[in-house]
Chain A
Amino acid sequence: MYTFSNKLKIGSFILMALGILGIAIGFISAPSTIEEAKAIVASHGDGHGDAHGAVDAHEVTGHEVSAETHGEAAEAHGESHDSSHDEHLLHQLQNKPWAALYVAAFFFFMIALGVLAFYAIQRAAQAGWSPLLFRVMEGITSYLVPGGIIVFVILALSMFHMNHLFVWADADVVANDHLLQGKAGYLNPTFFLIRAAIFLGGWIFYREYSRKLSLKQDESDDNSNFKLNFRISAGFLVFYLISESIMSWDWIMSVDPHWFSTLFGWYVFASMFVSGITVIAMVTIYLKSRGYLPDVNDSHIHDLAKFMFGISIFWTYLWFSQFMLIWYSNIPEEITYFITRIEDYRLPFFGMVAMNFLFPVLLLMNSDYKRLNWFVIMAGVVILGGHYMDIFNMIMPSTVGDQWFIGIPEIGAVLFFAGLFIFWVFRALTTAPLQPKRNPFIEESRHFHY
């Protein structure tokens, strides 16, 4: 049995406390009026001022051109544009703490969900190497319950107009937007929350049921629990693929309701899958270093690192396929998605490709390095950072636009959810023996070597 080390427990509480502080500062410092919003932008210092100045200059030349052609009408247009611009700015700044919270909440939730998918695949594929790690995976997926509830609450608050994360939830916006009216049959608050509840319910149900069967198998004298677990895992994977795809449209793609991409579901899946595998590897290495997983050897770590390497490349393949197809054809209604990201988010957008692709490819290519624990941890930290940036790049441009910054609200939210994640996962690990007893593949897994 694993005992939760006091140091780790206190560490997770400190993370949560610091995180709550950061989140609170984020919400307190968000502007409530247009004047406050303008003051925040004006006091923002030189670094940001330059970029904004360039945009202003651009707008001025744009207006001059239109003034020449349209005369007086253009001036009237300019004024109305100014006031709508201010309101837009206010919404962006008000969204900042919400978006920071949402990105971090989703990021840690998707780690647990990615691990759940990996776990179901290992069961459905009857993998011989991984049963030793099943309890570690079950521990991580226990975070689905609190993480899922928090994400659901944030989504519900968005639907009840506490923020402007999802513009289509605002009836006034929809009334003036023909495109959103066309999508209202799918994108409406009631149906949205029902879908979210069904998906979360399905994922949590599988997790709890599979965990129960897994523990029952330890005490039973035949393999019926194992066989049933195999069947429900195969069934879950079908449900997961459909629900994950729809979830990615709902929870992520719909912050940009004018834009659409067909491989988006796979892209989000790759991101959560590689993050989940990375966390399995990191938790396993931590537990092993504390002496709790004596039968886990280099080859298990090697296999996890191979998955990290392979799925990182898979993520890049999907990232590039999405980017290149849209860049190549350059259709206006699709390309805006990448134009905003490349203009306002150049460093995070391309930095994440370096973190999620170049770094793991070069570090984890060598077979010997995949067996070095500190190497896997180091690559894992970069991969997780890169996939946080990935979610950041998906949510932020359409919620806060060019007002983004990785400051106190963003870091606070990450610290809070990291603390909660660590606390919940390691607490769950104490509730069952770390090594399954009667799994039919456990002997093979104990003697696994590559």
Chain B
Amino acid sequence: MASKAIHAYYDDDDVLMLAVKRVKAAKHHIEEVYCPFPVHGLDKAMGLAPTRIAITSFIYGCIGLTVATVMMNYIMIEDWPQDIGGKPSFSYIENMPSFVPIMFELTVFFAAHLMVITFYMRSRLWPFKEAENPDVRTTDDHFLMEIDIHDNEKELKDLLLDTGAVEINIVEKTSH
């Protein structure tokens, strides 16, 4: 694998967007782009696949709804069908309106929390995780594009300088 990478710095998100488009047009693989804030349309310009996190959330919501239904059917209808204030506990459907608030909340609870946890796992985020910024300035006011070098250092450098990079560094990559 490539052990060297080129880091191009930009100080404006519009310049960065144009640079990403130029680099993609020149058929170079962009390893990573570091930004201090979300740049609208950057994922499209880089050609990243759309996220599927909404789909996972829908599935988690369905699981939550099932959990709520099964739980209350067991507790309130099957296990001990007590008469509590005249509520009909003969079958689930007869007493369903009083379960709806819980069914709704558990659906939202599962959909929200499991989706967030999925996001953390997929993005490899957790407490005490070592930060991966290549440069502290990328959290403040600089944008950084990282491209692996495959014996084409000169060509890449020229291309990136031409796209308006304010600084270009060659770095030894340490494996993750």
- Spell out A's residues near B (CB within 8 Å): 320, 323-324, 327-328, 330, 365, 367
Closest 5 CB pairs of A and B: A324-B97, A327-B97, A328-B98, A320-B100, A324-B100
Query: CA of A328 to CA of B98 in the docked complex: distance in angstroms?
Result: 7
Query: CA of A404 to CA of B100 in the docked complex: distance in angstroms?
Result: 30
A327: B residues at CB distance < 8 A: 97
A324: B residues at CB distance < 8 A: 97-98, 100
Q: A330 to B97, Cβ gap below 8 A?
A: no
Distance between B157 CB and nearest chain A CB, rounded to angstroms: 35
Q: A330 to B86, Cβ gap below 8 A?
A: yes
Beyond the given A320-B97, A328-B97, A330-B86, please list 9 additional residue pairs across the A-B interface where CB-CB is below 8 A: A320-B100, A323-B97, A324-B97, A324-B98, A324-B100, A327-B97, A328-B98, A365-B58, A367-B54
Interface of B is mostly: helix
Distance between A297 CB and nearest chain B CB, rounded to angstroms: 16
**7 pairs from A and B in contact (CB 8 Å cutoff):** A320-B100, A324-B97, A324-B98, A324-B100, A327-B97, A328-B97, A367-B54
Using CB atoms, name the residue of chain B closest to A327.
Answer: B97
B54: A residues at CB distance < 8 A: 367
B86: A residues at CB distance < 8 A: 330
B100: A residues at CB distance < 8 A: 320, 324
Interface of A is mostly: helix
Query: CA of A274 to CA of B54 in the docked complex: distance in angstroms?
Result: 25
Distance between A254 CB and nearest chain B CB, rounded to angstroms: 26
1/0 per position for B84-105, CB-CB distance to A under 8 A?
A: 0010000000000110100000
Distance between A341 CB and nearest chain B CB, rounded to angstroms: 14
Distance between A342 CB and nearest chain B CB, rounded to angstroms: 12
Using CB atoms, name the residue of chain A closest to B98.
Answer: A328
A328: B residues at CB distance < 8 A: 97-98
Distance between B113 CB and nearest chain A CB, rounded to angstroms: 19
1/0 per position for B43-82, CB-CB distance to A under 8 A?
A: 0000000000010001000000000000000000000000
Using CB atoms, name the residue of chain A closest to B55.
Answer: A366
B98: A residues at CB distance < 8 A: 324, 328
Distance between A363 CB and nearest chain B CB, rounded to angstroms: 13
A330: B residues at CB distance < 8 A: 86
A320: B residues at CB distance < 8 A: 97, 100
Query: CA of A367 to CA of B58 in the docked complex: distance in angstroms?
Result: 13
Most chain-A CB neighbours within 10 Å: which of B86, B97, B98?
B97
Distance between A243 CB and nearest chain B CB, rounded to angstroms: 32
Distance between A347 CB and nearest chain B CB, rounded to angstroms: 16
Distance between A314 CB and nearest chain B CB, rounded to angstroms: 14
Using CB atoms, name the residue of chain B closest to A368.
Answer: B50
Query: CA of A327 to CA of B100 in the docked complex: distance in angstroms?
Result: 13
Using CB atoms, name the residue of chain B closest to A324.
Answer: B97
Distance between B75 CB and nearest chain A CB, rounded to angstroms: 18
Query: CA of A323 to CA of B97 in the docked complex: distance in angstroms?
Result: 9
Query: CA of A327 to CA of B98 in the docked complex: distance in angstroms?
Result: 9
A365: B residues at CB distance < 8 A: 58
1/0 per position for B143-167, CB-CB distance to A under 8 A?
A: 0000000000000000000000000
Query: CA of A330 to CA of B97 in the docked complex: distance in angstroms?
Result: 12
Distance between A366 CB and nearest chain B CB, rounded to angstroms: 9
Query: CA of A365 to CA of B97 in the docked complex: distance in angstroms?
Result: 24
B58: A residues at CB distance < 8 A: 365
Distance between A313 CB and nearest chain B CB, rounded to angstroms: 11
Query: CA of A367 to CA of B52 in the docked complex: distance in angstroms?
Result: 12
